[in-house]
Chain A
Amino acid sequence: MQSSENIVRKAVKKYGKGRENLLPILQMVRKENNYLSEDQLREIATEMDLSAADVYGVATFYSFMDMQPKGKNIIRICKTITCFMKGKDSIVTALEDALGIKMGETTPDRKFSLLEANCIGWCHKGPAMLINDKVYVELTPEKAIQALEEYR
């Protein structure tokens, strides 16, 4: 609890209390903490003089603001049209099998979360996925599983 309070204070101090800084603050807290807890949202609201409902509303609107504890490494598989045409489903199945979790879940050791993302702009080289900030393209089930090894 103490540490999460510090993250919130640090973020508010860095960006300022203005309403326009809510998104960057949420982004920073999410990044440092891997997700946004309801307690943190309440703290942000108090610090910024906003209602807790307001902060909650903003945080839940954006898909990158994770409200559940996420793994250290976040896998985002592009779910849109070309990746879908090029066989994204088999990549999902392969990753689900390799990690032993379903789409949207996190491994028990908190190393990986498996999520879907909107177009990540790699349509010409689908199927594609992001692991944290790194892009992996032209995936095959083998290549996808191999990519995981870098993070194990």
Chain B
Amino acid sequence: MKEFLELYQSKEQGFTITPDMFVDIIHESPEVTLPPKTAQELREYTSQLTFEKLDKPAIIIGMGTCGLANGAQSVYDAFQEALKKGNIEAMLIPTGCVGYCAEEVIVDIKLPDYPRISYSKVTPKDVPTLIEKTLINHEPLREKVLGIYSQGEKNSWGDLPEISTIPFFKIQKKIVLENCGVIDPENIDQYLIKRGYEGLQRVLKTMTPEDIIASVIEAGLRGRGGGGFPTGQKWKFARQSSGDKKYLICNADEGDPGAFMDRALLEGDPHRVVEGMIIAAYAIGATEGFIYCRAEYPLAIKRLKKTLADAERYGFLGDNILNSGFSFKLKIKEGAGAFVCGEETALIHSIEGKRGMPRPRPPYPTTEGLWGKPTVINNVETFANIPVIIRNGATWYASIGTETSKGTKIFALSGKVKNVGLVEVPMGTTLRQIIFDVGGGIPEGRQFKAVQIGGPSGGALPESVIDTPIDYENLKEIGAMMGSGGLVVMDETTCMVDLAKFFMTFIMSESCGKCIPCREGTKRLYETLERLTQSYKNENDPEEALLRFQGMVYIERLANVITTTSLCGLGQTAANPILSTLRYFRDEYEAHLYERRCPAGVCKELLTYKINTDKCTGCTLCAIKCPAEAIVGERKKAHYILSDKCTRCGQCMMTCNFDAIYVE
């Protein structure tokens, strides 16, 4: 679709619309009067943008990286080809991720005077049927229908469910994600029509920086990146800091394993983040800003580049923004694959062109940040909350959530759960609701065991505490933290010691090495866990057994030392996976330690492979396959595994045709 400004200015009207006017018009400001013809054209254009009134069908395809990875491009191509072949007039519109990632590729079709209908798991093969049934015959393709979005259209699709009533969306409250998967993220007009940049215009015209800060404080917004520091307070400190120049940084270095909400926001609704940043810059008095985005997110970086260029063209960025006299320049800084750069002081060093290592705080960046100047660093999701707070008011925002934590939180749901994807719920929702109501529970009839919240800085929580309403304080109390909001669900096939070991491996390799507790301590923690989960070879070595017990005796003390003495947030939370699993799954540690067995059957070197002599037919297949020559037996008679020779490779179990090999 062509942009209105482009469309309009290309005509000889004797009347030009400036971007500033366009924003006024689109937000129905009474101050602007247009010639009737222009007004009519504009109405037509906007009704097309919202799909309310169409003269031809619109086909909206979810083309976030999520959709693309599932073949959205080939679906798009198939539509394009089929439409051309059948000489059918329709618009093809790409959009971002709606969050229901388990159901991608999602294709919505909006026919004139019909509610928008959403199809899931669409493949290129479905395209001809979809075109024939829905576009031509105006019938739904029932087996692929996800739901509909009604806006009071004349015609109906019969008894199809509203999208907001299906279980995945029912308890969600989409405030920050409202546009993701609905608009075309690369089309600035589509964002504008969804009341985009209205907040910016309001603050520039009617609010002082102090008003904005007061409003954000009243709303009760807290940082969504981890610690949960009150955003308004942070801005206030930066505002009060003296300095000729101030900086604003968006932390898009989302490195937590299991977190992808920032990626989805940047790919699905980048203008919202940018608008939030401009408002923040105005509030604290920053003239220059950076978005620090990690290199692992190529599509997000690409979309951001276009977003910044468009915002500048419309006059939302650059000099004299919307004729207010306020100027703000925004640049993208691409990361280079260092997890620690998500820590704010490390991130500052990285932007300055140095090794991304943290430094002690205070001084906090709000007084001494980038190049020694006052700097505010907020997370992507935090900025994305700002426009809606300004638009709908602080009181409205503060009415959502719990006593201490306001608004909604986006969680990235993954792991052993049926409906994976992005979930936005009000603060105070329980983990059980997210995992079982939205997530649909555990697949393959397995049992829920734990959920890891907040990545390597968070903790693994068992079923006994998942009824706790989620907010910053409650999570801390039960031994986890909000972190960025990744939720990795685990079932009974996950070993918690192995999980803790996994996170220690991660932290150990990502530790920047500046302070000793984190650099050395995490390594020692890792070694302790490694001794627990490995070492069948020296099972009878008394020294090894001594080290194993000694490690476990001191593990909590060491973990606490790391927590209290590390330099930055990364180190201070590095031991959390161990502390939380020790707290809730101590029995598993004990089984590994005393009984030398892994209850979940994950830690290979603790397993004993055995042959069920009743089932074994003596086919010799396993003995031939065994690389360690650990299987003995006569042909046609039951075989045996020599435990001290066995390397636990599991080849025999995979080879056996009679299910005769099992593990203990």
Binding site for B on A (CB under 8 A): 18-24, 26-27, 57-58, 61-65, 76, 80-82, 84-85, 117-126, 128, 130, 133, 135-138
Q: Is the CB of A122 within 8 A of B69?
A: yes
Q: Is the CB of B486 within 8 A of A130?
A: no
Residues from chain A with a CB closer than 8 A to the CB of B421 are 124
Top 3 closest pairs, chain A to chain B, by CB: A80-B257, A124-B420, A62-B336
Binding site for A on B (CB under 8 A): 65-66, 68-70, 101-102, 254-260, 263, 295-299, 333-339, 350-357, 412-416, 420-421, 452, 486, 488, 490, 494, 499, 502-503, 506, 510, 512
Q: Is the CB of B295 within 8 A of A84?
A: no
Q: In the bound complex, what is the Cα–Cα distance between A90 and B622 (angstroms)? A: 21
Interface centre among B260, B351, B416, B503 (most CB of A within 10 A): B260
Residues from chain A with a CB closer than 8 A to the CB of B336 are 23, 26-27, 62-65
Q: Of A20, A21, A128, A135, which contacts B68 at CB under 8 A?
A: A135
Q: In the bound complex, what is the Cα–Cα distance between A85 and B512 (angstroms)? A: 26
Q: In the bound complex, what is the Cα–Cα distance between A84 and B488 (angstroms)? A: 12
9 interchain pairs (CB within 8 A)?
A18-B353, A22-B353, A63-B336, A80-B258, A81-B503, A81-B506, A85-B488, A123-B260, A136-B69
Q: Is the CB of B258 within 8 A of A119?
A: yes
**Nearest CB of chain A from residue B251's CB, rounded to whole Å:** 15
Residues from chain B with a CB closer than 8 A to the CB of A130 are 296, 298
**Nearest CB of chain B from residue A54's CB, rounded to whole Å:** 8
Q: Is the CB of A82 within 8 A of B488?
A: yes
Residues from chain B with a CB closer than 8 A to the CB of A118 are 255, 257, 296, 337, 339, 506, 510
Q: Known pairs A19-B354, A82-B415, A122-B69. 12 more at Cβ < 8 A?
A: A19-B352, A20-B352, A20-B353, A23-B333, A23-B353, A58-B354, A61-B512, A85-B490, A118-B339, A118-B506, A119-B257, A138-B69
Q: In the bound complex, what is the Cα–Cα distance between A15 and B354 (angstroms)? A: 16
Interface centre among A63, A119, A130 (most CB of B within 10 A): A119
Residues from chain A with a CB closer than 8 A to the CB of B353 are 18-23, 58
Q: Of A57, A81, A135, which contacts B65 at CB under 8 A?
A: A135
Residues from chain B with a CB closer than 8 A to the CB of A121 are 254, 259-260, 263, 296-297
Residues from chain A with a CB closer than 8 A to the CB of B66 are 125
Q: Is the CB of B356 within 8 A of A62?
A: yes
Q: Is the CB of B494 within 8 A of A123?
A: no
**Nearest CB of chain B from residue A61's CB, rounded to whole Å:** 4
Q: In the bound complex, what is the Cα–Cα distance between A110 and B263 (angstroms)? A: 31
Q: Is the CB of A62 within 8 A of B298?
A: no
